[in-house]
Amino acid sequence: MKAVLVQAAGHTPVYADHAAPVAAPGEVLIDVAAAALYPLVRARASGQHYSVSGGYPLIPGPLIPGPLIPGVDGVGRTAAGERVYFFLPRAPFGAMAEQSVVAAERCVPLPDGLDDAKAAALANPGMSSMAALQDRARFQPGETVLINGATGASGQLAVQIARALGAGRIIATGRNTAVLDRLRALGADETIVLGDDPAVLAPRFEQVFAEGVDVVLDYLWGPSALALLKAGAKAGPAGRAIRFVQIGTSSGLEISLPGAILRSSGLVLMGSGLGSVSNARLLEGIGAVMQLAATRGLELPIRPVPLADVASVWPIEDGLRTVFTL
């Protein structure tokens, strides 16, 4: 079969021949139709994501060194003809190939009316906010949600999903002003442009916390996350719990967080991702995202690309979600 191959950590992927997988008992062979490229896929292929460095019990290995077929998830058909989304295929058979193989319980039937490329694009970024809101923050309708880093794919869907789940007020932050403007039409009540001057951001953050924030979904970490934590501790109403859910680290891997920020406020700091939410619940969240996409519509700009063109688009990160099609 044809597949994308990563020969070793950090190598540019190539389109080449690879032996087809054979399903073991309890597994399903998938004829792949679409697979998305996003930061988690790149990080795992490079060996830099926490889920592959040092071993990770929820994901079969070894993944690095290669050769391996990248792709954490995808959309395709089973031998019985059922159209499914599949998650965490057995290594080294990732989703970016003509065929993949996955445990049967890691498949979710797809609703009619949702095309393959869009389903593949929505699954991972949509799951990130669905799991963070429902499983980690225990979000309740009517609550105020602040989404830090809302201009990326995950953040854009987080705005729409929070609105669909009944958020009373949604505040979106980001650097891309054009996307922030579009997020108002997608459900954001208020937007904040992330600039480089902490002196400008601090009072703006303090204002929104003084007005009341229940849940923060943080896709950035780094300086803006620290500024939000400080503002929440300083301006958040006394006794009001603020559930701060850390999801991504695109602005920095670490912050220097004074302990007094947590002691002096209602901030509850938690993470959401592979390991903090069970695979079963992640799949349930993805199923819910797919139903929302089919019934209400979820918008996300995508770039469909033939799988054979992988080398030319692998390094591109421009706000469009690349989806490889077969």
Between CA 204 and CA 206 the distance in angstroms is: 5
Domain with CATH 3.90.180.10 in the chain: 2-109+296-325
User: Are 162 and 290 a contacting pair, CB within 8 Å?
Assistant: no
pLDDT of 97 reads 97
pLDDT tens for each residue of the chain, 326 residues long: 999 998 876 678 999 999 999 999 999 999 999 999 988 888 777 655 444 444 333 344 444 455 889 999 999 999 999 999 999 999 889 999 999 999 999 999 999 989 999 999 999 999 999 999 999 999 999 999 999 999 999 999 999 999 999 999 999 999 999 999 999 999 999 999 998 777 889 999 999 999 999 999 999 999 999 999 999 999 988 878 999 999 999 899 999 999 999 999 999 999 998 889 998 999 999 999 999 999 988 999 999 999 999 999 998 878 789 999 99
* Burial degree of 156 (CB within 10 A; 0-12, 13-18, 19+): buried
Distance CA 308, CA 298 (A): 28
CATH of domain 2-109+296-325: 3.90.180.10
On whether the CB atoms of residues 182 and 188 are closer than 8 A, the answer is no
**pLDDT value for 40:** 82
**CA 60, CA 83: separation in Å to the nearest integer?**
24
CATH number attached to the domain at 125-271: 3.40.50.720
CATH 3.40.50.720 location in the chain: 125-271
Category of 63 on φ-ψ map: left (φ > 0), alpha (ψ -120 to 50) or beta: alpha
Question: Beta-carbon neighbour count of residue 41 at 10 Å?
Answer: 22
Phi and psi at residue 58, to the nearest 5°? -85, -10
- What is the reported pLDDT for 65? 52
